[in-house]
Amino acid sequence: MPAAGHLFPFVPGLQELQRRGHHVHVRTGEKLLATAREAGLDVSPADPGIAAIEVTDYAEGKDTDKLRKGLHDMLRRGPLERADLERAIAEQDPDVILVDSLAYGATVAAGASGRRWAYVLPSLLPLPGKGIPPYGLGMKPLGGPLGRARDVVLSKLVERLYARSMLPRLNALRAEAGLRELRSPLEHLLSADRLIILTGEPLEYPRTDLPDNVRLVGAQLWDPPTASTDLGWLDEPGDPWVLVTCSTDYQADEQLALTAVEALRDEPVRVVLTLADAYDTVTLPPAGNVRVERFVPHGPVLERAAAVVCHSGMGIVQKAIAAGVPIAAVPFGRDQPEVARRVIEAGAGVQLRTKHLTAERLRATVREAIGMRPQAEAASKRLRAAGGGARFADAAEELVREPAFAAA
């Protein structure tokens, strides 16, 4: 995917593979080429037409409509992704292919290539399982017969929703590549030689029934180098910092920034607010304790932060937990309601639903989060022990030693 939140989690594992003597070649969007090169990776631009097809799920009102629109837009990229990866395979002659989870056309090209490949998901594992609430709804785990019945029924409903929204277009892509038709979105997830999940404890629920080809490799934490970035202002004396961040992959979450300025302008904190692509779409009211940036590496800010206010994206959530910084999670869509629920279950923060987003409520949520520092630090120890780049590289290296999976 041509998005920072999808490239960055790949970097630790790819760097480790290079350290082990493998040649790694990356295909990504033009805006991210310099960043990938700064990470020491061999990189070339993917077809610019891929990124030109915008994902506009944020323009819809209902959550189900957002899902359908998002999948529709990503699958529109499919023919270009498939052709681009086919060119890359011809140029690079790879032994193993690692495909980002939302590059649907590239998964088709990988599956049809006859080569060993992995479906890499920089988010939570969406497979149903024993004791696992239905994915994507942000529901609290519920034990006993009632909980098991709820999970089975709602998981099937979610699966059918994804099937209706995704499979017709995905199966059309697969038919063009000579691949068999899929009957379930879960078949798509499990069709690769490996399904590598770039997270683990404490955000993943314990599982006893994982398929054999699934690998949970833990959080993959990486920030662009900061040598050329002037961050001296972070060490100036003053109140504690609060990091407020919008999605790096635009989703119309400017209201979070606007509300955060109003909520925190008179609090005894300093705010650094990163807007990414929303930088060009929103005008914020002046506030003496708020510093607005398009982007700064989050690592140095988190080292000094009392709390994080975010849209519940996986990247910032895992970085905040790793730093032991409590989170005020305000999910806007996509996988974010589920991520926000896992933040709560991990004891790493609190959630404020978007429909309840007001300055008064956000102010109270941030105050509550700041008081959760001990729980956030406990969650940090679990996250840091769950894996990293070496485990990602281990999962990829398994494919060097195995034949391709026949079910692709």
Give the DSSP letter string of 134-176: PTTS-PPP--HHHHHHHHHHHHHHHHHHHHHHHHHHHHHHHHH
404, 95 in Cβ contact below 8 A? no
Structure-block tokens of residue 299: 């690592």
Does domain 232-385 fall into CATH 3.40.50.620? no
Reading phi first (left if > 0) and then psi (alpha if -120 to 50, else beta), residue 255 is in alpha
Q: Which residues pair with 259 in a beta bridge?
A: none
C-alpha 302/C-alpha 234 separation (Å) is 10
What architecture does CATH give domain 4-220+388-401?
3-Layer(aba) Sandwich (3.40)
Percent of the chain residues topping a pLDDT of 70: 98
Residue among 258, 270, 279, 124 nearest 200 (CA): 124
Q: What pLDDT, on the 0 to 100 scale, is given for residue 226?
A: 67
CA distance 226 to 242: 19
Quote the pLDDT of residue 206: 92
Give the pLDDT confidence of 41-64 residue by residue, as tens digits. 999 999 999 999 998 888 888 888
Contacts of residue 77, defined as CB under 8 A and 6 or more positions apart, other chains included, come to 50, 53, 103, 104, 105
Percent of the chain with pLDDT over 90: 76
What is the domain partition of the chain in residue ranges? 4-220+388-401, 232-385
| Three-point CA angle 94, 78, 401, nearest 5° | 25
Averaged pLDDT, 25-33: 95
Segment 122-138 mean pLDDT = 91
- pLDDT above 70 for 33: yes
Enter the pTM of the model. 0.92
What's the pLDDT score for residue 404?
Answer: 61
User: What's the pLDDT band for 117 if we cut at 50, 70, 90?
Assistant: very high
Backbone phi, then psi, for 270, in 5-degree steps?
-110, 140
- Identical fold for domains 4-220+388-401 and 232-385, yes or no, is yes
Phi, psi (degrees; rounded to nearest 5) at 247: -65, 140
Residue 294: both structure tokens together: 């398009």
Give the model's pLDDT for residue 407.
46
- pLDDT higher than threshold 80 for residue 132: yes
The pLDDT of 282-291, averaged and rounded, is 88
Nearest to 207 by CA among 294, 129, 319: 129
Q: With bands split at pLDDT 50, 70 and 90, how would you rate the model's confidence at 4?
A: confident
